[in-house]
Structure 1
Amino acid sequence: MEIEIATIGGYEEVGRQMTAVRAGEDIVIFDMGLNLSKVLIHDNVETEKMHSLDLIDMGAIPDDRVMSELEGDVQAIIPTHGHLDHIAAIPKLAHRYDAPIVATPFTIELVRQQIQDEGKFQVDNDLVKMNAGATMAIGDSEQVELEFVNVTHSVIDAINPVLHTPEGAVVYGLDKRMDHSPVIGDPIDMDRFREIGREDNGVLCYIEDCTNAGRKGRTPSESVARKHLHDVMRSVEDYDGGIVATTFSSHIARVKSLVEFAEEIGRQPVLLGRSMEKYSGTAERLDFVDFPGDLGMYGHRKSVDRTFKRIMKEGKENYLPIVTGHQGEPRAMLTRMGRGETPYELDDGDKVIFSARVIPEPTNEGQRYQSEQLLRMQGARIYDDIHVSGHLREEGHYTMLDALEPQNVIPAHQNLQGFSPYVDLCRSQGYKLDRDLHVTENGNVIQLVE
């Protein structure tokens, strides 16, 4: 059976992930994401109202014209998890393919919301839920099967999809960390990865996220970040002024920890910001997390400002606002607070807890720097880097290569500079460039089996 892989997006940058695999006459697409930095550098861009061609020209979503080079029919679109760099182009591109969108329940619900917000295109693809551990047939030949393997990441309900073919398995390894004691959900299913590496024809190809490949050691568990956060929260327990926290809105485990620790130190938690309300509300509705019944979630600006006024009236010392804005996004709540555009007034000594790292990209780094400076000018004291990454470090990559023993490896989720540590790592394990280690770019097609 002919096997081809089209590397469509995410092979020259971090963001706008999209990869297609053709097995015979059947094609499966993994991810359709957004490069948010290409949007943030423009003022007041509303992607929901923009045409896909304009977003492609901006470098914001994948240029999927290479799909015309693949001879076959798209049978499924598979977003691996709910981050925007993996799902936010679905409303712009999915309608071009007569195929269902198949994902885990939390991811499917986020995709549904993305589609509902779309203002330019009508997206009528079927939305199909499939849990980690489940399989489904692809096409009519009964020779190709899709499997979801549970992984741990900085968003819940993440999977690595595996396409089983007569020539071996294609494992799409974006994005994960090796967490054996997660705060929410099950540990990464390393037993299943090892089985896949040793059954039938083994693993024909492994496509891997290279984000932290140059960092030594292993990525700590989310339980480590939880302990760090707990220590910080207890250290400010006796402070009688304002404490504000921010983290990734999609990081439900971290939000859960913030809510629990706020109550432990005698403060009422409240979630503020559109994306904070969206992700946490969805997770609670689908029973992934059990928040206190009186937890307020407010996304609309007027509702947020009313909440800020209530906090100022009743006393900042009684509340912990958990807000959007950890990357310094211009319209996020924390950025507005730093600019003095909300009723919440920061005083000398007030604490701002960043339970997130800056995404290492110039736009984010610049905006985060500006946000921190604005907060400091108002007297805020900043607690930084209370976080663990959602991506594998060096030892995690060694472990995955040992588990899967792939015949071919394709680095992804980076630019050429970002690929280099992973390339060196693979070469140390016997892989060779242009033989079984394929460094590629957006828009290329790699033929693995002719």
Structure 2
Amino acid sequence: MEIEIATIGGFEEVGRQMTAVRAGEDVVVFDMGLNLSQVLIHDNVETEQMHSLDLIDMGAIPDDRVMSDLEGDVQAIVPTHGHLDHIGAISKLAHRYNAPVVATPYTIELVKQQVKGENKFSVDNDLVKMDAGGTMSIGPQCELEFVNVSHSVIDAINPVLHTPEGSVVYGLDKRIDHNPVIGDPIDMERFREIGREDNGVLCYIEDCTNAGHKGRTPSESVARTHLKDTLQSIEDYDGGIVATTFSSHIARVKSLVEFAEEIGRKPVLLGRSMEKYSGTAERLDFVEFPGDLGMYGHRKSVDRTFKRIMKEGKEKFLPVVTGHQGEPRAMLTRMARGETPFELDDGDKVIFSARVIPEPTNEGQRYQAERLLKMQGARIYDEIHVSGHLREEGHYQMLDALQPQHVIPGHQDLQGFAPYVDLAESQGYAVGRDLHVTRNGNMITLVE
């Protein structure tokens, strides 16, 4: 059977992920993502109103026109998890393909919301839920399997396309976490089985985000302990404490809510994306929050909540807000600019339970937000976080478990690929033979 891979997006940057695998006459598309930084550099861009071709020209979504070079029919569109760099282009591109979107329940719910907000295209692809551990047929000879992984968003998987020539494992995004705060541990046993069954793993496509960092990525339980220690250390402060994290990081939000109550403060979730992700997770029973937990996304509701906090006393509350990257319209940035009823005083604490995404736009915005906060006298607690991506030893473990015949680094630019290439070469792979360093828009033939 002919096996061909199109590396469409995410092979020159972190963002706008999209990869297609052709096995014979059947094609599976993994991810359709957005590169948010390419949107943020423009003022007042509303992607919901824009045409896909304009977004492609901006470098904001994958240029999927290379798909016309694949001689097969798309049977499924498979986003691995609910982050925008993996689902953010589905509303712009999925309607071009007569194929269902297949994903885990939480991811499907986020895709539904993404599609519902689309104003330019009508996206009526079937949305099919499949749990981790589930399988479905792809054409007469192939099978799609979801393997459970741990990431910084719940209900994440690595999809595996089983073909007569061996399996194609799409390895974006994960960490090896045996003690997660929410959900099951990564299924390393299943990865080892896949590496040793039938014809083994034909190809492994891997996320290289943290490949240049030594050691292993700590468990989310480590971040939870760090966060608890930080909040307990300022438990006696009688002023304002504000926390921010990734809105999609439900495990971290859960920890913030629990620890706020432990130090005698009432947690409240503020910001549109904070309300969306946490509300969806609670509705689908992935997390249980206190019955009186406030979640407010609309600006008027948020400002009313801030007025209440100022009236009743900042020392009684812990607002958990959007804006950990310094996004211009996010809640924390508005607070830093003095555009909300919440008044920061000298000595008030701001907890960043997130790291800066290593990209110039994010780094610049985050720096500006921190400077504005410090000008108001805020004390910054930074890097209370663990990554959702593998470090060097995690990558070594995955190569050892899967023993793939071919490896394709992804989710980075060429500079970001370099540490992973060094690791793979140390394990016997060679660039140009079975280690394929590629760019957006390229085709790689594995079996002719």
Q: TM-score range by the shorter chain?
A: over 0.9
Instruction: Name the amino acid aligned to 2:237.
Output: Y
Determine the structure 2 residue equivalent to 1:184: 182
| CA distance in structure 1 between the aligned counterparts of 2:413 and 2:11, rounded to whole angstroms | 6
Does 2:47 align with 1:53? no
Does 2:441 align with 1:443? yes
SS in 1 for 2:144: strand
| CA distance in structure 2 between the aligned counterparts of 1:130 and 1:268, rounded to whole angstroms | 37
SS in 2 for 1:250: coil
What are the Cα deviations for residues 55-91 of structure 1, in whole angstroms up to 9, with x where unaligned? 0000000000000000010000000000000000000
Count of aligned positions:
448
| CA distance in structure 1 between the aligned counterparts of 2:72 and 2:61, rounded to whole angstroms | 23
Instruction: Name the amino acid aligned to 2:333.
Output: T
Determine the structure 2 residue equivalent to 1:156: 154
Gaps of 5+ in 1: none
Determine the structure 1 residue equivalent to 2:24: 24
Aligned counterpart in structure 2 of residue 221 of structure 1, from 207, 219, 226: 219
Does 2:414 align with 1:416? yes
Deviation at 1:444, TM superposition (A): 0.4
Instruction: Name the amino acid aligned to 2:2.
Output: E
Does 2:435 align with 1:432? no
Post-superposition, which runs of at least 4 consecutive aligned residues in structure 1 deviate over 3 A? none
| CA distance in structure 1 between the aligned counterparts of 2:363 and 2:442, rounded to whole angstroms | 30
Gaps of 5+ in 2: none
| CA distance in structure 1 between the aligned counterparts of 2:44 and 2:376, rounded to whole angstroms | 26
Determine the structure 2 residue equivalent to 1:305: 303
Deviation at 1:300, TM superposition (A): 0.3
What are the Cα deviations for residues 386-438 of structure 1, in whole angstroms up to 9, with x where unaligned? 00000000000000000000000000000000000000000000000000000
Determine the structure 2 residue equivalent to 1:66: 66
Instruction: Name the amino acid aligned to 1:22.
Output: R
Does 2:194 align with 1:196? yes
Determine the structure 1 residue equivalent to 2:356: 358
Deviation at 1:185, TM superposition (A): 0.2
Deviation at 1:121, TM superposition (A): 0.3
| CA distance in structure 1 between the aligned counterparts of 2:345 and 2:182, rounded to whole angstroms | 35
How do 1:271-420 and structure 2 match up within 5 A? 271-420=269-418
| CA distance in structure 1 between the aligned counterparts of 2:413 and 2:210, rounded to whole angstroms | 13
| CA distance in structure 1 between the aligned counterparts of 2:337 and 2:215, rounded to whole angstroms | 39
What are the Cα deviations for residues 172-216 of structure 1, in whole angstroms up to 9, with x where unaligned? 000000000000000000000000000000000000000000100
Deviation at 1:159, TM superposition (A): 0.1
Does 2:5 align with 1:5? yes
Determine the structure 2 residue equivalent to 1:268: 266
What are the Cα deviations for residues 221-249 of structure 1, in whole angstroms up to 9, with x where unaligned? 00000000000000010000000000000
Instruction: Name the amino acid aligned to 2:154.
Output: I
Deviation at 1:102, TM superposition (A): 0.2
Determine the structure 2 residue equivalent to 1:171: 169
Deviation at 1:282, TM superposition (A): 0.1
| CA distance in structure 2 between the aligned counterparts of 1:302 and 1:328, rounded to whole angstroms | 21
Determine the structure 2 residue equivalent to 1:121: 121
Aligned residues with identical type, % of pairs: 87
SS in 2 for 1:68: helix
Does 2:101 align with 1:96? no
| CA distance in structure 1 between the aligned counterparts of 2:395 and 2:351, rounded to whole angstroms | 31
| CA distance in structure 1 between the aligned counterparts of 2:356 and 2:222, rounded to whole angstroms | 19
| CA distance in structure 1 between the aligned counterparts of 2:372 and 2:50, rounded to whole angstroms | 32
Instruction: Name the amino acid aligned to 2:179.
Output: S
Aligned counterpart in structure 2 of residue 144 of structure 1, from 127, 135, 142: 142
SS in 2 for 1:335: helix
| CA distance in structure 2 between the aligned counterparts of 1:430 and 1:337, rounded to whole angstroms | 52
| CA distance in structure 1 between the aligned counterparts of 2:368 and 2:396, rounded to whole angstroms | 38
| CA distance in structure 1 between the aligned counterparts of 2:155 and 2:183, rounded to whole angstroms | 7
What are the Cα deviations for residues 236-279 of structure 1, in whole angstroms up to 9, with x where unaligned? 10000000000000000000000000000000000000000000
Deviation at 1:114, TM superposition (A): 0.1
| CA distance in structure 1 between the aligned counterparts of 2:9 and 2:445, rounded to whole angstroms | 17
Deviation at 1:135, TM superposition (A): 0.3
Deviation at 1:384, TM superposition (A): 0.2
| CA distance in structure 1 between the aligned counterparts of 2:387 and 2:308, rounded to whole angstroms | 35
Instruction: Name the amino acid aligned to 1:321.
Output: P
| CA distance in structure 2 between the aligned counterparts of 1:392 and 1:82, rounded to whole angstroms | 18
SS in 2 for 1:226: helix
Instruction: Name the amino acid aligned to 1:344.
Output: F
SS in 2 for 1:66: helix
Question: Normalized against structure 2, the TM-score is what?
Answer: 1.00
Question: Normalized against structure 1, the TM-score is what?
Answer: 0.99
How do 1:218-257 and structure 2 match up within 5 A? 218-257=216-255
| CA distance in structure 1 between the aligned counterparts of 2:385 and 2:46, rounded to whole angstroms | 30
| CA distance in structure 1 between the aligned counterparts of 2:45 and 2:376, rounded to whole angstroms | 29
